[in-house]
Amino acid sequence: MTTLAVVGTGYVGLTTGACFAHLGHHVICADIDEEKVARLQRGEIPIVEDGLERLVTEGIKSGRLEFVVGAAEAARRAEIVFLCVPTPQGEDGAADLSYIEAAAAQIADVLQPEAVVVNKSTVPVGSTKVVERVLQRSDVYVVSNPEFLREGSAVNDFLKPDRIVIGSESQAAASKLAALYLGVPTPIIVTDPASAETIKYAANGFLAMKISFVNAVAAMCEAVGADVEDVVLGIGFDKRIGHEFLKPGPGWGGSCFPKDSRALVKIAEDHGYNFTMMRGVIDVNEQQRLRILAKIREAVGGVLHGAKVGVWGLTFKARTDDLRESPSIAAIHELLRSGAKVKAYDPTIVEPLSGYKRDLLQGVELCADPYGAADGVDALVVLTEWDEFRWLDLEKVASVMVGNCLVDARNLLQRSAVMHAGLKYVGVGRL
Ligand code: NAD
């Protein structure tokens, strides 16, 4: 059993802490948010993430999982310290390392000799050096161990990852870190820190590229009269292509792809390479948002001012409560700016709202169920792929709407079922 500290108890930190405790380690999770720490100490999970509550409860009961306020409090007792703090987009597109630097400064004086400090946050190439500079400790190691979990399946992704990547200049530190993952059967790639950091950005860049690609193909399908769902089926059976991540929609969002794709362009630019392909991926994503907005405008008869729009789905994807950079929120803000009225329903976003969620949803009428969000609207838009939207009574939906158009920005519903209910169906890249 190794004693670990996890600094930052957000989506990544809390999952990391709870999973390592589940694997048998003693984990001390730290956050600067005192209220969050108090809630976690009581076993209350501040986020929606499948299986996480069970692991946190199990960890607290076994005594292997603790929550404390402040990074130093956790780091002073740990052999290995994971930094899981935010790395938001800075003004110039580069990742803002101020949270990482602040966390490193907070732990510098209390680290045990031979401690390993792990960058699990997504950080640009060279960030292990940044942490080393802040720590000013020649007796500790700094390594990179990027995280690839997806919100919505974070626990499963952590315990059954496709691979683990460790970037370290010290073989001893890499081995110490690799030993923590005993019990996680997956390939471990040990490389230098710059390669590990690049792997994370390249992976996210590639995934964003797949979505932008399929959205571009969907636009082409609309132009030539093809059906993108059949096209994806047809290309996906090619083993070199596969079916994964080729789902047309309102564009990618979330807390990672937008900032990481811009950071990738910026890292390349700073090192003299113009990553035009990644710029194109970002451009296609912005175009896609406009294309969805144009569909909504058309659905309400061409004028958004004064129109009533119902929205199903607010989170950036299903099975999470995360609204950060959600395409749904971007669309809603644009609708409100154009003078439309917006009612919305999402299974994880319920009153009373607080913090950033309340700010993002200002001016939106939040409904308790999907029928409420359809009631009295000129058009209804599906913006998140929540499974429950597939099984609704569409005739009831049609009966409460004023207008008769359903824009399915996720290609989630059966067009025939929507039409059977007397509604007009508008999908993405579909005939
Ligand atoms: P988050 O915003 O959900 O959580 C970050 C937490 O860190 C917050 O609770 C905050 O209060 C805390 N914090 C900030 N400074 C601190 C400090 N000095 N000491 C203690 N706590 C501190 O962030 P997240 O989504 O978990 O992302 C963290 C990092 O992991 C980012 O770099 C992100 O890009 C990366 N990442 C995220 C995901 C994801 O799906 N969310 C996946 C892979 C990688």
**CATH code, 28:** 3.40.50.720
- Per-residue b/e over 348-382, b at no fewer than 16 CB within 10 Å? bbeeebeeebeebbeebebbeebbbbbbebbbbbb
Task: Please indicate whether residue 215, judged by its CB atom, sits closer than 6 Å to ligand 1.
Answer: no
pLDDT 10s digits, 109-154? 999 999 999 999 999 999 999 999 999 999 999 999 999 999 999 9
- Span from the CA of 5 to the centroid of ligand 1 (angstroms): 14
Task: At 249, list the tokens.
Answer: 């929609």
Residues 317 and 347 in one domain: yes
User: Which residue among the candidates 29, 84, 256, 405 is catalytic per the annotation?
Assistant: 256
pLDDT 10s digits, 339-374? 999 999 999 999 999 999 999 999 999 999 999 999
Domain boundaries, position 172: 3-188
What span, in angstroms and rounded, lies between the C-alpha atoms of 75 and 43? Answer: 22
pLDDT 10s digits, 100-117? 999 999 999 999 999 999
pLDDT 10s digits, 156-180? 999 999 999 999 999 999 999 999 9
Atom of ligand 1 nearest to the CA of 7: 20
| Cα-based angle 352, 355, 357 (whole degrees, multiple of 5) | 70
Task: Please indicate whether residue 318, judged by its CB atom, sits closer than 6 Å to ligand 1.
Answer: no
Residues 297 and 379 in one domain: yes
According to the model, what pLDDT value does residue 77 have?
97
Taking CA atoms only, the protein residue closest to ligand 1 atom 20 is: 31
Radius of gyration for the alpha carbons in the chain, expressed in angstroms and rounded: 23
For the cut 90, the answer to whether the pLDDT of residue 431 exceeds it is: no
Mean pLDDT of the chain: 97
Residues 101 and 206 in one domain: no
Over residues 229-256, the mean pLDDT reads 97
Task: At 89, list the tokens.
Answer: 């987009």
141, 165, 188 — which closes off a domain?
188
Instruction: Say whether 256 is catalytic.
Output: yes
Taking CA atoms only, the protein residue closest to ligand 1 atom 38 is: 12
- Contacts for 315-319 with beta carbons within 8 Å, 24 or more apart? 315/346, 315/348, 315/349, 315/384, 316/253, 316/254, 316/255, 316/384, 317/151, 317/152, 317/253, 317/254, 317/384, 317/385, 318/152, 318/384, 318/385, 318/386, 318/387, 319/48, 319/50, 319/151, 319/152, 319/153
Mutate to test the pocket of ligand 1, among 6, 11, 197 (most ligand atoms within 8 A of CB): 11
pLDDT 10s digits, 23-76? 999 999 999 999 999 999 999 999 999 999 999 999 999 999 999 999 999 999
Residues 39 and 90 in one domain: yes
Task: Please indicate whether residue 256, judged by its CB atom, sits closer than 6 Å to ligand 1.
Answer: yes
Q: How far is CA 426 from the centre of its chain?
A: 27
Task: Please indicate whether residue 12, judged by its CB atom, sits closer than 6 Å to ligand 1.
Answer: yes
Residues 261 and 403 in one domain: yes
Q: Which helix (H) or strand (E) holds 116?
A: strand 116-119
According to the model, what pLDDT value does residue 63 have?
97
